[in-house]
Amino acid sequence: LQTRLQAGQGYGNTLKCVLTVYRNESVTGFFKGMSFPMATTGIYSSVVFGVFSSTQRFLSQLRHGDPAVSPSLTDMTVASSVAGFVSVAIGTPVDLVKIRLQMQTQPYIKANVKLKPTAPGSPVYRGPIHCFWTILQKEGIAGIYRGTVAMLLRDVPGYCVYFIPYAVFCDWATPEGCISPSAFSVWLAGGVAGAISWGLCTPMDVVKSRLQADGVYLNQYKGTLDCILQSYQNEGLKVFFRGLTVNTVRGFPSSAAMFLAYELSLKAMKRDQTETNP
């Protein structure tokens, strides 16, 4: 829904988009492009959270001589920015394939491809692997990393307003004298942080989606700035808030689950380490 609202035409609001996708593509239309993100989300999340935690510990060691010292706001900002920067290297190709498959509004049928290989609405890709190799062969490495600048402008500040609010809410929700917040507090703080982050990042998410969707049938944008200018000239300021509701609603449960799984995994590993090395 997010991709169709941001990069598609004629979908209107969220409800109209849901009905249009269901009417034209049935239930399977809502799961397009899902396999590639599912196969890589574990690696992506581990790298992002690992880079964030490692950078925080490195900065604490550098500033205070002890990696266990609670990081300052500056340290968290730097660690979040580094995590956002690194995430783009992994996330850009995955997002590109996902969006290209989602913007292909019909299933791949060889007969259709031979008849109308570039007509809007005609199938182009058989699946995620075929999509990846097709882009790589036709557009090279630059094509695989299409939308990188927009993604950097989304993810670097986006992770700052992701990790920092989470830390603030967790600290606020932790009772006096407790070492760590409860599981519910972690879940709630993660959800709120995700909703805030995705809500604030929606304008650049729109630009990123449009740039990566561009190329399924034709190339309309020359780059990030050209996409911003064309989008504004054609549809006004409101275009940059397309998909805001979907992003915010989606951001809460996904981030809540992510942070809860992260914190519980850390506790389990620390407990095992303590039992192994008393």
- The model's confidence at residue 127, banded by pLDDT at 50, 70 and 90, is confident
CA atoms of 22 and 18, how far apart (whole Å): 6
Tell me, what's the pLDDT at 217? 63
Residue 182 is given by DSSP the state -
CA atoms of 259 and 194, how far apart (whole Å): 10
Question: 91-105, 143-157, 167-181: which has the highest mean pLDDT?
Answer: 143-157
C-beta separation of 80 from 196 below 8 A: no
- The model's confidence at residue 74, banded by pLDDT at 50, 70 and 90, is very high
Residue with more model confidence, 78 or 267: 78
CA atoms of 140 and 145, how far apart (whole Å): 9
Tell me, what's the pLDDT at 166? 95
- The model's confidence at residue 105, banded by pLDDT at 50, 70 and 90, is low
CA atoms of 149 and 225, how far apart (whole Å): 10
Checking if the pLDDT of 114 tops 90, the result is no
For the question of whether the overall pTM of this predicted structure is more than 0.75, the answer is yes
Residue with more model confidence, 4 or 79: 79
Structure tokens at 189: 């703080």
Beta-carbon contacts of 106 under 8 Å, excluding residues fewer than 6 positions away, are 25, 112, 121, 122, 123
Domains contained in the chain, CATH given: 33-144 (no CATH), 146-277 (1.50.40.10)
Q: How far is CA 38 from CA 17, 35, 104, 153, 250, in A?
A: 23, 5, 19, 24, 16
